Amino acid sequence: AVPAQHPVVCCAPGGPQLCAKRPGRGRALLGSQRRRRKSVTPDPKEKQTCDIRLRVRAEYCQHETALQGNVFSNKQDPLERQFERFNQANTILKSRDLGSIICDIKFSELTYLDAFWRDYINGSLLEALKGVFITDSLKQAVGHEAIKLLVNVDEEDYEVGRQKLLRNLMLQTAP
């Protein structure tokens, strides 16, 4: 479940930064609900915007050291032993979950959407977000372990959004 409020990444002149939370937008929509939301026919006179969902996740790079020596079973039955070891490993890995943040970003200009997508594809968005999300307090919390940041933007969301914003441009230039 996604929290009712999402932090927003603001792209200020000084670089991206985490801004105040937006008012709640309800729970996350399922894939079928998101498709229905996108299929609503827009008013052709109204300028359209598009929402792009950015997922940012922090993860430990190595899990072997946390699992070594902490996963064992003295069960005699091989299947029971395997299940017990699996459950122990699963519990350890869940306890090491650093979490993720979902940001819904609204675009009203095609040039900004395309620049965002280019930055996502070439890795500069990831590099910029490292400075925002991998904070000193997070580094302190994980101790000496290496962590990585994973960033994901759905290409279908980008393509659908791009088409909406392209229609805006065509409507602006139409007589």
58-85 mean pLDDT: 89
Whether the per-residue pLDDT at 7 is higher than 90: the answer is: no
Whether the per-residue pLDDT at 25 is higher than 70: the answer is: no
Contact (CB, 8 A) for 78 and 131: no
Whether the per-residue pLDDT at 153 is higher than 60: the answer is: yes
What does the pLDDT read at residue 167? 87
Whether the per-residue pLDDT at 121 is higher than 90: the answer is: yes
Sign, CA dihedral 169-29-117-13, equals positive
What does the pLDDT read at residue 24? 39
What does the pLDDT read at residue 62? 85
Residue 8: pLDDT band with limits 50, 70, 90: very low
Residue ranges of alpha helices (H) inside 23-154 are: 31-38, 64-67, 78-95, 110-122, 124-133, 136-142
Name the strand (E) or helix (H) holding 59: strand 50-60
Instruction: State how far the Cα of 128 lies from the Cα of 20, in Å rounded to an integer.
Output: 18
pTM over 0.85: no
